[in-house]
Structure 1
Amino acid sequence: MVKLGPDVSSGTEDPYSGYLPDGAFTGFSMMHESGTGGAPKYGVVSQMPVVGNVTNPLANLSTGRSSADEGSVGYYKASLASGVIVELAATEHAGLYEYSFPDGNSSSIVIDVSHVLPSYRGKGWSQSYSNGSFSIWEDNHYEGSGTYNGGWNLAPDWTIYFCGKFDAEPVSAKTFTGTGTTLDSYDSEPGVWTSGSYRQGGVFTFEEKNVKSRVGISFISYRKACVNLHDEIPSDTSLQTLVNSAKSKWNAEIFGKITTSSTKTSDLALLYTNLYGMNLIPSNRTDENPDWVSNEPYYDDIFTFWDLFRCSTALTHIIQPVAYEEQLRSIIDVWRHEGFLPDARSSNFNGRTQGGSNADNVLADAYVKGVRGSIDWQDGYSAMVRDAEKVPVNNHDPVSPDSSDKEGRGALPDWINYGYITPTYNRAVSRAVEYSANDFGLYQVAKGLGERSDASKYLKRSRNWRNHWNPNATSQGHSGFVAPRLANGSFIEQDPLSCGGCYWGDAYYQGLPWEYSMNAHHDVDTLIQYVGGEDRFVDRLDLMFQTGIISAGTIFNAANEPSFTTPYLYNFVGRQDLAVKRSRTVAKTYYNTGTGGIPGNSDAGAMQTWILWNMIGLYPLTGQTTFLIGSPWLSDMEIDLGTGNILNITSTGGNSDDAYYVQSLKVNGKSWDKAWVTWDDVFADGGSLEFELGEDPVLWATGPAPPSPASEAQ
């Protein structure tokens, strides 16, 4: 729950997770979300070290860096231009600050309850401070709370409680209140609570140059925040103890799940750096849910299933099966108490839905892969049916006023009435493509639960993406693309190489018509037929990776999720060699361990998960048991499946730089001629993949094509 780190402001750029490479420190706060976009969230329960006495704690106390920040697993260090060194470590619900102040002045620490991460985008998604409370007790520990709203998911007021203690006796401890930068009060009377919508907090001044600050937080109460502090960071706890504990936990729960004997430093750094980035959120907040009492686990900070369903949740299932099941139980419990599954969630509030109700895809993926455990699948299916049949109340987002983007499927009336989505709703085409995949997920679960009538209905609806297919739309010598459609059935002329702004008010969200036209991954055989057969399908894919067609580079966009699966679609038409060529080129072009090491925003680890699958040599098709075969990077890789089973992946004859084409493959010791495997083949009970790699492409995958269930089923 605690993600302790710096808050930096440049005055122009949104600090989504607090950190920016340039700008001034405005504080060091307890809560952040890594890898999000849209607008920042959190940056709350903050404190700021100041050299000397503080005459006005509401003034601008920000300061720049004296050198670059340093960080490693479980540890952060910032060197301020003021001469202060800040070192940070944390536990689940508490954080430890170590301050080293320069000689010659007193040492002050300012706690500003109203501090949040700002947004400069002008979208109406900024965070606001609503009200709070603060008190310094006679033993000089302090307690307080802050209530905030806004951020990327447009959450209403939510409250966090905090409890803090310093290891040194302050020479001065004062509370303050004020508005803007104007002080209303600034006094040192202990035991007095201040509360209200004005800015408030405390200032602690010390003679010591080395000061430790311990803080606990809770969504439940002041008392629980203090309990979290004392239970998790007792007064004699060292920062190094917390760092060591964090490293041990990461090694046991994440890094140790994928091991290799490879000594190639660049590959190892890429593997483990991206495993780290993939697993920073969601946040396990079991026992910290302020809204209802439940025996179910509770997870928050889901950003967002639109980003994660394509490949991230599938890898979480493999390397963290216990946490994965808990997350599924948690979102079903959200439906029980709030009426809809979250497509995204933060500060205990659903929002925002960018396309379809993609929690449906996540649940379907788990169901078809046999996840049962403590999940109530009747409830899980009922939650999916709510998404498919109930129109959510419009939350009136100013960038998407036509329907709800809080949860569910806002464009459901058109989907049910027409079998497609008209321009009455923005993001109409991309929503339709995703609603089709959502309904396919319902078909999969309904079929498994024996709900035959529902299965038939949702299978039929899963094919409705076809109703947006305009066979007369042309581009680059190809005909047929998904396009906007009016209520009278006519298509709107649309350049397949243009999506307008590709944002909330457009027909296509974060992807070109070219990209979305290749996204019916449950109905690929139909797609191949629509584009004119296998050769035309290959040519269309080739064009998506050709430079010079659009000014931005290639039609394929490594930075946006609608392109994620595209390189692997060659596997459906007997060209697994081209899937390897394209995906490896993307990986080597857009990924490294430098400051530009991922292609754009992390999207809560979605980008990192894509490269991890590329290194493993497989790619999942969500809602199906199919994994498309790529080419592994390492000579050996052992994946601990968390169930006592192991998947061993080996390769001979090649390496990641030049000889990466598959020459032959054995699965569980048997020769393999298919460009795909299933969950049962290698993950259900473990297994082995033995690749022989080489410099030249070989058409080894001569067996049946991957399944296309919506094309085949009746």
Structure 2
Amino acid sequence: MTSVNFRLGTLIWLSSLVVAQVDYSQYVNPFIGSEGPFPGLAFGGGDIFVGAALPFGVVKVGIDTYEQNVSFSTLNGGYTPQGRVTAISMMHESGTGGAPKYGIVPQMPLAGSLATVNVLDNTTYWQQRVGNDTANVGYYATKLESGVSVQLSASRHSGIMEYAFPAGDKHILVDLSHYLPSETGGSDVQFYVGGEMDLQPGGQIYTGYTTIGGGWSESAPMTVYFCGEFDHAPDQANAFSGRLTDPIARYHTWSDGPVPQATFGNLTETAGPLNNRVGALFTWSNASVSTIKSRVGISFISADKACAFKNSEIRSWNLNDTVQAAVSEWNQDVFSKIRVPTDSTQNRTNLILLYSSLYFMHLMPSDRTGENPLWPNIESYWDDFYTLWDIFRCTVSLYHLIQPTYYQGMIRALIDIWRWEGFMPDGRSGNYNGLVQGGSNADNVLADAYVKGLPGINWTAAYQAMLKDAEVVPYNTFSYTDFTASVKEGRGALYDWIPLGYVSSDRSTRAISRSVEYALNDFSLSQVARGVAPNDTQKYLARSAQWQNIWNANVTHKNFTGFLAPRLSNGTFNLTDYNPALCGGCEWQSITYEGTPFEYSFTIPHDMQTLIQFMGGSAEFERRLDYIFQPNTSEQNLGANGAGITTLMNIGNEPDFATPYEYNYVGKQYKSVMRARSLANQYFHNANYGVPGNSDAGALNSWLIWQMLGLYPVVTQPVYLIQSPWFPDINMTINGNATLRIMANGLDNANSYYVQSVTVNGRPWTQNWLSHGDVMVNGGTIVFQMGSQQTMWESGNVPPSPGHYTL
């Protein structure tokens, strides 16, 4: 099936909303990014979660699907447009690439005779969907080919499911060994370790746990406790146990013989020393019961706590009550933080893009405060940073402004992970650090929060955590992903960075991109050191300039001179067949990650002054920027994360996020507006294929939000580049109780998006940038005068280069 609906049906619950309040949830399309460039397939799309969740919720209730064509398969969020449903499960990620994670604590409704069903082989019961899927904020519905209609909603640690069955026997299968499988196998597949199923007498309530490891983070096994309840007692309930098998792996290897049948009988089944698959089957034969509802709570601490969550969070069996509560929380905690006009004169598509983007950037990470099973629950605890490499550039800056309480909890959690485990994560899921795609980017997150004055943080401890990243080589995890160094945490190539002053291409992978990222990491340390350890400031400022050690002034390409280039550990550059517009696969074993050296040559935000000088001055810098936006300049096969992109500039990957805005550094703000607006219009749509690749935990969505606000943050600096607002009047609640108002006069037609002049708090503004203290602390008003003319309105200083340092 390929058809989807949002805001079509299930609208009855909206009647209880207070009329005077704007229900911004009506502008959320949960399907944006659910499909890629190939109609009906998720491959190359946003990998987003489609289902029910609260902001930063632990539970994300949705369907798990399986696409049989593994060459064009992606299962990361569970949902795929045409995949077969294998379960409805409680935990999912959203927007992530790589191998899937979670899809655990499941239920699967089955109808009629089970004569051909083997509960240990989901290929015998998986279901196509019929008709249209429907999703709204806090709500998801679909219909299976068996005739079962499914509705879902969620609270923070619990979910509610409603199944309407056709005539005949009704069954719900709970297979504790279920998880989202990797499409093609590998070292990062998930694996089942064991579990326990306990049925209370009568079978109406069941409890237990499941233990699952692996996934993209290559994590150690994680135990999740659950507590499920049905609104009607089943006529029959039996736990089962069966031999440890992987039905999906079997399906692809075509091994001989059927998957063995399970053994039924007891009220309690435990995996035992052989890691048996365990679960339960519930059956209702009473013809008077046609709809079965279920509430399920989960906990990382105990089944008793899971039951407490279920009972306290979802008190009513009316699914609409949970939906209404979810809509209310999203409106109050998220959507109302950015308020724009919603009258009939407004562009509805832009409203949907704005509020859908806010929705997706609040699905992850997960706030598990009070649910940390690894050490005492004293501090904030957050998981599913998947990954900081994706969100440090512009997502966390938005959290800082509109979610200061949540953001403070995230920062404290990162520090606490270092306190107990030794390193802050770059990626983390399943209560486990991993993987590190480039640098130690928690350093950038902390520095960004520090220079903008986030309160409630122990900055002495924060700096100690950053020092660990900067000075201690993490032990080598010998991951299949990269055998040369640790990819679990920290900076795996410090053995080069500290003595050589760069990451060498003969001893390390991703040598160019890691050199650039390590430089920004060290700039982050220099900024926090200014207030916490002043004697360290110059040391890390100098190290932040070490990207210059891999700049080769003699490399030429397409009539441009000077590029980042691979350098060997003996000090010589390896320029044999070197092309800065190519990177191999732009993957773990390449010289750069998710971008070419040509693109990474623009990623020095802390010292744009030196970068512009190295490229030949302002005019040559501008000419090179112009080039990367020209069609057919890409020489690299971009794969799924670049379908349809022919420019060197690839907005589908995070290293290029800030590049369109760099014209501000040469006094050509109108060109920044032109380039960024063109990218937004070309690649972001209110459609299933609505983002140019993985949304990466909302990173692409937050890029679009900043674009629509008319600002862009410079990471690790209290600086915002002025752009062009999309709405005539934007009111943002920042820092909890202050208001930032952004007004755009003259948005009369589709072409009047160029800035003619700016005032800040009533004063004429001649700089094309703002400092955090100007309007981001106590609020204020920015007024843009807009028009269709490309105007060089700015006459003040260009944005600063606080990391300016020449080696």
Fold-level match, TM-score > 0.5?
A: yes
Letter aligned with residue 363 of structure 2: L
Q: Distance in 2 between matches of 1:440 and 1:53?
A: 65
Which residue is equivalent to 2:503? 421
Which residue is equivalent to 2:325? 245
Superposed, 1:293-304 pairs within 5 Å as 293-304=376-387
Q: Secondary structure at the match of 2:131?
A: coil
Which residue is equivalent to 2:600? 516
The question of whether the paired residues in 2 share the 8 Å contact of 1:102 and 1:209 is answered with yes
2:375 to 279, 292, 296: 292
Q: Distance in 1 between matches of 2:727 and 2:84?
A: 41
Aligned-residue offset at 1:21: 0.5
Q: Distance in 2 between matches of 1:78 and 1:244?
A: 19
Which residue is equivalent to 1:214? 295
Query: Any idea what the Cα deviations from partners look like across 1:649-706, whole Å, max 9, x if unmatched?
Result: 0011125721111000001110011010010011011011100111111111111010
Aligned-residue offset at 1:124: 2.1
Which residue is equivalent to 2:62? 5
Letter aligned with residue 594 of structure 1: A
1:580 to 667, 673, 691: 673
Q: Distance in 2 between matches of 1:610 and 1:69?
A: 28
Letter aligned with residue 265 of structure 1: R
Which residue is equivalent to 1:203? 281
Superposed, 1:180-195 pairs within 5 Å as 180=245, 181-187=259-265, 189-190=266-267, 195=272
Aligned-residue offset at 1:472: 1.0
Q: Secondary structure at the match of 1:315?
A: helix
Letter aligned with residue 58 of structure 1: L
1:283 to 366, 370, 388: 366
Q: Distance in 1 between matches of 2:758 and 2:668?
A: 15
Letter aligned with residue 258 of structure 1: I
Q: Distance in 1 between matches of 2:186 and 2:791?
A: 51
Aligned-residue offset at 1:258: 0.4
Letter aligned with residue 132 of structure 1: G
Q: Give yes or no for the alignment of 1:167 onto 2:247.
A: no
Which residue is equivalent to 1:618? 711
Which residue is equivalent to 2:18? none
Distance of aligned partners of 1:698 and 1:445 in 2 relative to their CA distance in 1, 3 Å threshold: same
Q: Distance in 2 between matches of 1:395 and 1:656?
A: 56
Which residue is equivalent to 2:107? 47
Which residue is equivalent to 2:90? 30
Letter aligned with residue 466 of structure 1: Q
Q: Distance in 1 between matches of 2:268 and 2:583?
A: 59
Aligned-residue offset at 1:190: 3.1
Which residue is equivalent to 1:532? 616
Which residue is equivalent to 1:492? 574
Q: Give yes or no for the alignment of 1:365 onto 2:444.
A: no
Aligned-residue offset at 1:177: 1.1
Aligned-residue offset at 1:233: 2.0
Q: Secondary structure at the match of 1:407?
A: coil
Q: Secondary structure at the match of 1:490?
A: coil
Which residue is equivalent to 2:522? 439
Query: Any idea what the Cα deviations from partners look like across 1:560-617, whole Å, max 9, x if unmatched?
Result: 0010000100000010010000000000000011011111101000000000000000
Q: Secondary structure at the match of 2:798?
A: coil
Aligned-residue offset at 1:183: 2.3
Which residue is equivalent to 1:86? 150
Which residue is equivalent to 1:460? 542
The question of whether the paired residues in 1 share the 8 Å contact of 2:610 and 2:805 is answered with no
1:691 to 767, 779, 784: 784
Aligned-residue offset at 1:321: 0.6
The question of whether the paired residues in 1 share the 8 Å contact of 2:610 and 2:806 is answered with no
Aligned-residue offset at 1:453: 2.3
Distance of aligned partners of 1:640 and 1:593 in 2 relative to their CA distance in 1, 3 Å threshold: same
Distance of aligned partners of 1:192 and 1:15 in 2 relative to their CA distance in 1, 3 Å threshold: closer
2:119 to 57, 70, 78: 57
2:169 to 82, 100, 106: 106
Aligned-residue offset at 1:161: 0.8
1:544 to 628, 646, 651: 628
Aligned-residue offset at 1:550: 2.3
Which residue is equivalent to 1:75? 139
1:383 to 453, 462, 465: 465
The question of whether the paired residues in 1 share the 8 Å contact of 2:545 and 2:806 is answered with no
Query: Any idea what the Cα deviations from partners look like across 1:500-523, whole Å, max 9, x if unmatched?
Result: 110000110000111100101101
Aligned-residue offset at 1:40: 0.5
Q: Secondary structure at the match of 2:742?
A: strand
Aligned-residue offset at 1:15: 0.8
Aligned-residue offset at 1:294: 3.5
- Percentage identity across paired residues of the two chains: 46
The question of whether the paired residues in 1 share the 8 Å contact of 2:542 and 2:805 is answered with no
Superposed, 1:585-664 pairs within 5 Å as 585-654=678-747, 657-664=750-757
The question of whether the paired residues in 1 share the 8 Å contact of 2:541 and 2:805 is answered with no
Q: Distance in 2 between matches of 1:542 and 1:167?
A: 63
Q: Distance in 1 between matches of 2:606 and 2:783?
A: 28
Q: Distance in 2 between matches of 1:294 and 1:172?
A: 40
Letter aligned with residue 179 of structure 2: V
Distance of aligned partners of 1:609 and 1:655 in 2 relative to their CA distance in 1, 3 Å threshold: farther
The question of whether the paired residues in 2 share the 8 Å contact of 1:123 and 1:399 is answered with no
Q: Distance in 2 between matches of 1:497 and 1:23?
A: 36
Q: Secondary structure at the match of 2:803?
A: helix
Query: Any idea what the Cα deviations from partners look like across 1:531-550, whole Å, max 9, x if unmatched?
Result: 00000000000001011222
Aligned-residue offset at 1:191: 5.2
Superposed, 1:395-410 pairs within 5 Å as 395-410=477-492
2:307 to 223, 226, 232: 226
Q: Distance in 1 between matches of 2:462 and 2:749?
A: 41
The question of whether the paired residues in 2 share the 8 Å contact of 1:134 and 1:195 is answered with no
- Structure 1: state its 5+ residue gaps: none
- Structure 2: state its 5+ residue gaps: 1-57, 246-258, 636-644
Q: Secondary structure at the match of 2:606?
A: coil
Letter aligned with residue 105 of structure 2: V
Q: Secondary structure at the match of 1:523?
A: helix
The question of whether the paired residues in 2 share the 8 Å contact of 1:653 and 1:694 is answered with yes
Q: Secondary structure at the match of 1:711?
A: coil
Which residue is equivalent to 1:96? 160
Aligned-residue offset at 1:295: 1.8
Distance of aligned partners of 1:121 and 1:542 in 2 relative to their CA distance in 1, 3 Å threshold: farther
Q: Secondary structure at the match of 1:4?
A: strand
The question of whether the paired residues in 2 share the 8 Å contact of 1:53 and 1:108 is answered with no
Which residue is equivalent to 1:124? 187
Q: What is the total number of aligned residue pairs between the two structures?
A: 709
Q: Distance in 2 between matches of 1:514 and 1:121?
A: 31
Q: Secondary structure at the match of 2:415?
A: helix
Aligned-residue offset at 1:184: 4.2
Q: Distance in 2 between matches of 1:402 and 1:138?
A: 54
The question of whether the paired residues in 2 share the 8 Å contact of 1:633 and 1:656 is answered with no
Moved more, 460-469 or 223-232: 223-232
Distance of aligned partners of 1:194 and 1:417 in 2 relative to their CA distance in 1, 3 Å threshold: closer
Q: Distance in 1 between matches of 2:151 and 2:481?
A: 40
The question of whether the paired residues in 2 share the 8 Å contact of 1:9 and 1:15 is answered with yes
TM-score by length of 2: 0.86
Distance of aligned partners of 1:402 and 1:46 in 2 relative to their CA distance in 1, 3 Å threshold: same
Moved more, 6-15 or 195-204: 195-204
Letter aligned with residue 173 of structure 1: A
The question of whether the paired residues in 2 share the 8 Å contact of 1:343 and 1:359 is answered with yes
Q: Which has the higher contact order (CA 8 A, sep 6+)?
A: 2
TM-score by length of 1: 0.98
Q: Secondary structure at the match of 1:709?
A: coil
